[in-house]
């Protein structure tokens, strides 16, 4: 059996990751912090702290399970600061004869890894089974269809998973309760406060490192409250289920001048880096409906975002890259207005969306789509420039999710439902 170096990326922090199964005793698991990944857009410092701290905690969790782990820290003098050369350096260092990796989240990395498949030290790439669908299955679903409608894709996944299905029919008789998800916020409404996670020594050390290396990026660390361990992510999930999910549906499309999170779950970052799985989150939400603790419009609306939109945009990303990111059917070539970085604008909704993003590395979907997205569209901003901004500013930002809404608006593809 070959001796593998198993490379785990910063968005693959799941103990049931496909590459961690059936490992020989002499396998080496590697996690690498590299400056190249932190700098290709100016990521929000909270996003960098989240990923580096979560990686460090995950490495410890793997060591506790008895695995041999190499951790390349950002300031290791030998660190080559670029993922592929660093992984190959470590494989040579430990005498490994192949590098194993699960499909990365980004097309550019996937290309770079597949190009190394025939190298003397081969890369063996494994499909990411943490999603409900694979790029291949999505491409088969899309093949020959005139339009790729989210609604049809979503219904198929509901049937396949059985989520919110009763005797083969959708729970409550309708597939989609979007029409019940548009109430404005009443004047006096208490929004339950998000759980506060203490900062341990690992996170504090990473914060100091990030201040030193990336302190010039947009956004501050003062409000850092992202979960960096699975335990903390589960606390956030339970908080959402108990205190927010019942009202998630009706206020899903609302916006507030003062409340950044409203009844949204704030689970995207934990989902995207692998601390939570979409299956456990959807099944937990479904249980709230089945046991009478949350109404159907909330639970269906929430599950639709994860089972529907999240899977659908990932399928589109892998099916349409690399042209997808360069799409610009409206020929919009303007620069991003400077106020997207400074918040210095008299448009109050835009200013507040940017200030909240600066403070929390978060904006909810209405701020992203209707405020920052629409205003950039009206200002003729190039979709790539806006994509890069989205990729930089949110803790949950990853290219496979954020390209879709940006490119969709500019390409006018009638796919949404």
Ligand X SMILES: Cc1cc2nc3c(=O)[nH]c(=O)nc-3n(C[C@H](O)[C@H](O)[C@H](O)COP(=O)(O)OP(=O)(O)OC[C@H]3O[C@@H](n4cnc5c(N)ncnc54)[C@H](O)[C@@H]3O)c2cc1C
By the criterion CB under 6 A, which residues form the site for ligand X?
Answer: 264-268, 271-272, 302, 305-306, 309-310, 313, 364-365, 368-369, 373, 390, 394, 396-398, 401-402, 405-406
* Smallest distance from ligand X to CB 394, Å: 6
Stretch (H or E) spanning 20: none
Which CB atom, from 12 or from 272, has the smaller least distance to ligand X?
272
* Smallest distance from ligand X to CB 388, Å: 12
Are the C-beta atoms of 202 and 242 separated by less than 8 Å?
no
* Smallest distance from ligand X to CB 247, Å: 12
Q: Is 187 exposed, middle or buried (CB count within 10 Å of its CB: 0-12, 13-18, 19+)?
A: exposed
Token digits for 281? 């989150």
Tell me how crowded residue 41 is: count the other CB atoms within 10 A of its CB. Answer: 16
| DSSP H stretches of helix in 304-378 | 311-320, 323-326, 339-342, 348-360, 365-366, 374-378
* Smallest distance from ligand X to CB 400, Å: 8
Taking Cα atoms as reference points, which of 391, 276, 207 lies closest to residue 13? 276
Classify each residue of 153-168 as buried b or exposed e, where b means 16 or more C-beta atoms within 10 Å of its C-beta: bbbebbeebebbeeee
* Smallest distance from ligand X to CB 211, Å: 24
Does residue 322 have a cis bond before it (omega within 30 degrees)? Answer: yes
Which CB atom, from 14 or from 268, has the smaller least distance to ligand X?
268
Which CB atom, from 28 or from 244, has the smaller least distance to ligand X?
244
Which CB atom, from 169 or from 189, has the smaller least distance to ligand X?
189
Are the C-beta atoms of 156 and 149 separated by less than 8 Å?
no
Residue 165: strand pairing partners = 170
Which CB atom, from 123 or from 400, has the smaller least distance to ligand X?
400
**Strand (E) positions, 9-80?**
28-32, 68-72
Pairing of strands 123-126, 98-102: parallel
* Smallest distance from ligand X to CB 73, Å: 26
* Smallest distance from ligand X to CB 307, Å: 9
Which CB atom, from 79 or from 232, has the smaller least distance to ligand X?
232
* Smallest distance from ligand X to CB 268, Å: 3
Identify the three-state secondary structure at position 149. coil
Which CB atom, from 84 or from 398, has the smaller least distance to ligand X?
398
* Smallest distance from ligand X to CB 271, Å: 5
How many Å apart are CA 252 and CA 254, to the nearest integer?
6
Which CB atom, from 87 or from 267, has the smaller least distance to ligand X?
267
Which CB atom, from 103 or from 310, has the smaller least distance to ligand X?
310
Cα distances (angstroms) measured from residue 400 to each of 5, 21, 44, 100, 388: 26, 25, 18, 22, 12
Cα distances (angstroms) measured from residue 413 to each of 27, 28, 331: 46, 45, 15
Which CB atom, from 1 or from 189, has the smaller least distance to ligand X?
189
Residue 4: strand pairing partners = 98
Cα distances (angstroms) measured from residue 98 to each of 4, 11, 76, 125: 5, 21, 23, 10
* Smallest distance from ligand X to CB 177, Å: 15
Which CB atom, from 149 or from 365, has the smaller least distance to ligand X?
365
* Smallest distance from ligand X to CB 409, Å: 8
Tokens 């999910």 label which residue?
245
Pairing of strands 4-8, 68-72: unpaired
């Amino acid at each position: 059996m070959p001796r593998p170096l198993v490379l785990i990326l910063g968005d693959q922090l799941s103990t049931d990751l496909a590459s961690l199964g059936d490992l020989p005793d002499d396998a080496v698991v590697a996690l690498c912090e590299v400056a190249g990944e932190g700098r290709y857009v100016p990521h929000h410092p909270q996003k960098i702290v989240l990923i580096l701290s979560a990686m460090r905690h995950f490495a410890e969790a793997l060591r506790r399970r008895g695995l041999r782990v190499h951790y390349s820290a950002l300031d290791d003098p030998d660190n080559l600061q670029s993922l592929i050369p660093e992984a190959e350096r470590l494989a040579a260092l430990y005498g490994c004869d192949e590098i194993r990796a699960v499909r990365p989240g980004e097309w550019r990395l996937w290309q770079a890894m597949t190009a190394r498949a025939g190298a003397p030290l081969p890369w063996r790439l494994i499909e990411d089974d943490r999603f409900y669908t694979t790029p291949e299955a999505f491409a088969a679903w899309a093949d020959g269809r005139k339009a790729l409608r989210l609604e049809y894709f979503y219904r198929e996944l509901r049937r396949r998973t059985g989520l919110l299905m009763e005797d083969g029919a959708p729970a409550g008789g309708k597939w989609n309760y979007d029409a019940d998800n548009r109430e404005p916020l009443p004047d006096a409404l208490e929004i339950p406060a998000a759980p506060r996670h203490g900062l341990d020594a690992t996170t504090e050390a990473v914060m100091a490192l990030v201040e030193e290396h990336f302190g010039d990026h947009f956004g501050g660390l003062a409000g850092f409250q992202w979960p960096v361990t699975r335990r903390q992510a589960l606390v956030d999930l339970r908080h959402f289920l108990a205190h927010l999910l019942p009202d998630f549906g009706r206020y899903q499309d609302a916006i507030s001048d003062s409340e950044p999170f409203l009844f949204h779950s704030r689970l995207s970052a934990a989902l995207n880096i692998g601390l939570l799985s979409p299956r456990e989150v959807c099944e937990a939400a479904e249980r709230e409906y089945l046991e009478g603790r949350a109404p159907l419009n909330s639970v269906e609306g929430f599950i639709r975002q994860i089972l529907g939109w999240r899977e659908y945009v990932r399928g589109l990303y892998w099916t349409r890259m690399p042209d997808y990111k360069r799409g610009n059917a409206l020929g919009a070539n303007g620069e991003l207005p400077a106020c997207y970085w400074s918040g210095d604008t008299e448009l109050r909704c835009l200013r507040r969306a940017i200030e909240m993003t600066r403070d929390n590395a978060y904006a909810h979907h209405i701020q992203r789509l209707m405020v920052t997205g629409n205003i950039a569209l009206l200002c003729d901003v190039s979709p790539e420039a806006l994509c890069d901004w989205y990729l930089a500013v949110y803790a949950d930002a990853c290219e496979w999710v954020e390209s879709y809404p940006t490119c969709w608006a500019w390409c006018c593809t009638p796919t949404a439902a």
